[in-house]
Structure 1
Amino acid sequence: MTVSFSQWLEESREHLQAENRSLPSRLARPLYYVYVGALLSATKHYRWGTNVFDREWDLLVVLDACRVDALREVADEYDFLGDVEPMPSVGSTSFEWLNHTFGRGHADAIARTAYVTGNSYTQRVLTQRGDTGHAAMPFGPTDYDVVPPEAFGYIEELWRADLEGDPEWTVGSGDRTRRSPRYATDRTIAAARERDADRLIVHYMYPHDPYPLAEPALFEPFDPLRAGDVSRQRVWDAYLDNLRFVLDEVELLLENVDAETVAITADHGEAFGEYGFYRHVIGCPLSCMRRVPWVETTATDTGEHDPAAPDPTETGTVPARDRLEQLGYL
């Protein structure tokens, strides 16, 4: 987060004057970021939730913004999804999850880990030590004790790849397109076969919105949902389709890597109007955001899939800000 009392005052003033928000919402936002400053100050030193490095796994599959109840709802459709257990996350946003997962206290394990990620917060967290550039709180920690990118055994930041206009690696049409999860699948299979690492993490940016397979009104659904223009059920159904879309890729992944213990989890959950919250917000204690799934399975490389996705360093680069804007953060 950005720590600036003057910026917090200015943003609070602008929000209080916003006519498209209810009065309770306008009053609550400034106070909420005071709470966030206090919470981040506390959790920087006293962790809340379970760090994934404290559990046993060879391959960790992170489904961004996946809720426990959502994964349970579709579990019968996938043989590799058995019991979906809940686990308290170390954050309610990717910003918190990255900061609290990749701390220097786990540096030895991180040095033996390959991380293939579509989440562009790696730039702002691992390189800039926690400055998101989004919203301001009046006080709080200005940096975190996170490892730098070079501390990983291997790191591949998929979001850097410039694949715009390439139909093989994008999904959707017109202005409503996103990077296909197949890109992450292929690059992870390549990393599993070519890199020497004790552990492997793949961070898919699904079922996180936007929803490129949905009807146009549901591509970016949370503002219409908040305004009452679409029903919660319609948005939920689109969310589940986005989840199925990535789970199809996870199925392919598990047939093309060797891993005795695979864990499928999420960095945080998602809110669909619970207590007036939508999407996911920093420091939120609600279980819909703070509780994530944990499923264990296995994987065997059949060698049947030949990954064709280009190395992101060979495609040209896209600024992290562009990816964050596409995901509705800026």
Structure 2
Amino acid sequence: MRRQLLLSSVLGPIQKRIRGNDGEYVMDADWDNLIILDGCRYDLFTQIYAKNSLDGELSRFQSRGSSSPEFLSENFEGRTHNDTVYVTANPHEKRILDDTFYDTDRPWIDDWDDEAGTVLPAVLSERARSAHDTYPNKRLIAHFMQPHVPFIGETQLDVDSEITSGLRDMMLEDSMDDAPGFVWEELQNGDIEEGVFWEAYRDNLIRVLEEAVPLAKDLPGKTVITADHGNALGEWATPFPVPVYFHPTNIRMPELNTVPWFVPPYTERKQIVRSGDAPAEAIETPTAADESAESDESDESAVEERLSALGYAD
């Protein structure tokens, strides 16, 4: 965590003074459905795109964040998008966003897989389809958790089960580096070969694309598959020769900020309704209609637990 804080609090402000934030706002881009992959590098996506001959156009997009909290804050915080429904497997949104979208569905609360330590791609895909069926005239954002760790693809790395079960708390505190035995720490220390790590990372992307690509084809309108940020595997961040791992906040480097922008073929556009108040009842989740203090406390507990399971610790 000390490395994360140093990079975010020292290097980040220096880079910001030099170049500012040159990222693009996703809400200003042209799409009807936006599928967000969490922590997907552009070059990693390019490998899968070329090897599997994915049908569609691939280009680069500059993210405004190098971490999920920064991405969410830069793109959505303090704004209202009554034309958009958000379905997310990422617990960070609960602490950053407040009534931003017309509706928010949170599978990370009630469809979390304790054994895997994440929301499985098939579950998120199903919830996204349900959201579209409920709100066919709204823009749809489906935020998958993969290829972010834990790795659940064909190649898996040996991670302490106690760490996996507490990843949600760790994710909340942006402190995966402090998790003993955590894969990013092991990569940084040389305990995992970079080639093996990349293979597991790649297979995690393949796992989520097996759900995301069919979802993109099934949804009417123009669908874009992108990412909130990438991941650094020891590349240097200018102007200092400092190796960066994982995805610390406020850092500007291609491995973190350059993400895919993949547009599968489409034949129609959605008729988007850009007005209307938020619904009295959200897509059914345990906390949608309960705004009591007890419910808020329960939500906060769930946030910490899920983020710990994704690698962020106190």
Q: Secondary structure at the residue paired with 1:210?
A: coil
| Contact in 2 for aligned 1:218/1:235 (Cα 8 Å) | no
Q: Secondary structure at the residue paired with 1:111?
A: strand
Q: Secondary structure at the residue paired with 2:146?
A: coil
Deviation at 1:29, TM superposition (A): 5.6
TM alignment of 1:149-188, pairs within 5 A: 149=99, 151-161=100-110, 163-164=112-113, 177-188=117-128
| Contact in 1 for aligned 2:233/2:244 (Cα 8 Å) | yes
Post-superposition CA distance 1:282-301 (Å, at most 9, x none)? 11111100111111124689
Deviation at 1:238, TM superposition (A): 0.4
- Count of paired positions: 261
Unaligned runs of 5+ in 1: 1-10, 16-24, 127-147, 166-172, 302-309
Q: Cα 1:258–1:89, aligned 2, differ >3 Å: closer, same or farther?
A: same
| Contact in 1 for aligned 2:118/2:310 (Cα 8 Å) | no
Q: Cα 1:164–1:245, aligned 2, differ >3 Å: closer, same or farther?
A: closer
Q: Cα 1:60–1:279, aligned 2, differ >3 Å: closer, same or farther?
A: same
TM-score when scaled to structure 2? 0.73
Q: Of 252, 261, 264, which aligns to 1:297?
A: 264
TM alignment of 1:186-205, pairs within 5 A: 186-205=126-145
Alignment-mate amino acid for residue 279 of structure 1: F
Provide the C-alpha distance between the structure 2 equivalents of 1:36 and 1:76, rounded to a whole number of angstroms.
Answer: 33
| Contact in 1 for aligned 2:8/2:249 (Cα 8 Å) | no
Partner of 2:208: 246
Q: Cα 1:160–1:228, aligned 2, differ >3 Å: closer, same or farther?
A: same
Deviation at 1:119, TM superposition (A): 1.0
Alignment-mate amino acid for residue 268 of structure 1: H
Provide the C-alpha distance between the structure 1 equivalents of 2:134 and 2:5, rounded to a whole number of angstroms.
Answer: 47
Q: Secondary structure at the residue paired with 1:217?
A: coil
Alignment-mate amino acid for residue 217 of structure 1: D
Alignment-mate amino acid for residue 51 of structure 1: Y
Provide the C-alpha distance between the structure 2 equivalents of 1:71 and 1:267, rounded to a whole number of angstroms.
Answer: 13
Q: Cα 1:177–1:153, aligned 2, differ >3 Å: closer, same or farther?
A: closer
Deviation at 1:229, TM superposition (A): 1.2
Deviation at 1:205, TM superposition (A): 0.4
Post-superposition CA distance 1:241-268 (Å, at most 9, x none)? 0000000001331343212x11111010
Partner of 1:19: none
Deviation at 1:198, TM superposition (A): 2.8
Percent identity over the alignment is 29
Provide the C-alpha distance between the structure 2 equivalents of 1:48 and 1:39, rounded to a whole number of angstroms.
Answer: 11
| Contact in 2 for aligned 1:81/1:295 (Cα 8 Å) | no
Provide the C-alpha distance between the structure 2 equivalents of 1:238 and 1:251, rounded to a whole number of angstroms.
Answer: 20
Partner of 2:84: 113
Post-superposition CA distance 1:48-89 (Å, at most 9, x none)? 310011111000010010111011100135554433211111
The two structures, once aligned, show a CA RMSD in angstroms of 3.1
Deviation at 1:215, TM superposition (A): 3.4
Partner of 1:224: 186
Alignment-mate amino acid for residue 215 of structure 1: Q
Partner of 2:247: 280
Post-superposition CA distance 1:146-176 (Å, at most 9, x none)? xx22x411111221115446xxxxxxx5xx5
Q: Secondary structure at the residue paired with 1:70?
A: helix
Partner of 1:257: 219
Partner of 2:25: 51
Deviation at 1:311, TM superposition (A): 4.6
Give yes or no for the alignment of 1:322 onto 2:305: yes
Q: Cα 1:319–1:47, aligned 2, differ >3 Å: closer, same or farther?
A: same
Provide the C-alpha distance between the structure 2 equivalents of 1:31 and 1:282, rounded to a whole number of angstroms.
Answer: 8
Alignment-mate amino acid for residue 56 of structure 1: D
Provide the C-alpha distance between the structure 2 equivalents of 1:53 and 1:221, rounded to a whole number of angstroms.
Answer: 33
| Contact in 2 for aligned 1:58/1:200 (Cα 8 Å) | yes
Q: Cα 1:296–1:32, aligned 2, differ >3 Å: closer, same or farther?
A: closer
| Contact in 1 for aligned 2:55/2:265 (Cα 8 Å) | no
| Contact in 2 for aligned 1:61/1:204 (Cα 8 Å) | yes
Provide the C-alpha distance between the structure 2 equivalents of 1:228 and 1:189, rounded to a whole number of angstroms.
Answer: 41
Unaligned runs of 5+ in 2: 161-181, 237-242, 269-282, 289-297
Partner of 2:292: none
Deviation at 1:271, TM superposition (A): 0.8
Provide the C-alpha distance between the structure 2 equivalents of 1:31 and 1:160, rounded to a whole number of angstroms.
Answer: 31
Higher relative contact order (CA 8 A, sep 6+): 2
Q: Cα 1:328–1:81, aligned 2, differ >3 Å: closer, same or farther?
A: farther
Deviation at 1:194, TM superposition (A): 1.5
| Contact in 2 for aligned 1:254/1:299 (Cα 8 Å) | no
Give yes or no for the alignment of 1:215 onto 2:156: yes
Post-superposition CA distance 1:176-224 (Å, at most 9, x none)? 5432111110000011111144311000000001113433426842111
Partner of 1:124: 95
